[in-house]
Amino acid sequence: RQSPRAPPRQDKMSAPGQAFAEAVKLGEAASTKEEAVQAALECPCIEGLKSSSCGTGFVEALSCFMRADETERGAKCAGEFVALHACMVTHAGEFTEFTNELIENEKKEGYAKAASGAA
């Protein structure tokens, strides 16, 4: 039985976005960028992602994100995240829950409306 504070284990791609956020949160407590990367990559919550068909791309994207300054994360790591997304599309069967999570977030946040060009 896990303790309430233990990060959830990500065995079945149930919520990659949530696992990514948990890993980033663990890394933020580190004193250096490299320690942050290491802490994030050691999170049990992302084991499923690291061992997936897109594991290498995931590690590259997370590492870039953790090393970048907060203000430049989006621009600096865009290539890594685009490559990760392409891999996830190619291996869509492994990421069904993640796709559902994205769709739900689009509904909540209005991304679909913004992407369609509506103001």
Cα-based angle 67, 73, 74 (whole degrees, multiple of 5): 150
Looking at residue 88, its amino acid is: M
Residue 112, token pair as written in the block: 């679909």
Per-residue pLDDT at 48 = 87
pTM: 0.69
- Which parts of the chain have pLDDT scores under 70? 1-16, 102, 109-119
Instruction: Give residue 84's pLDDT.
Output: 92
The rounded mean pLDDT for the chain is: 78
pLDDT value at position 112? Answer: 47
Q: Dihedral, CA atoms, 8, 10, 55, 61, nearest 10 degrees?
A: -40
- What's the confidence (pLDDT) of residue 96? 83
Residue 108 near residue 101 (C-beta atoms within 8 A):
no
Instruction: Supply the pLDDT for residue 70.
Output: 85
Rounded CA gap, 62 and 27, in Å?
A: 10
> What distance in Å separates the CA atoms of residue 49 and residue 11, rounded to the nearest whole number?
8
**pLDDT at residue 27, rounded to an integer:** 86
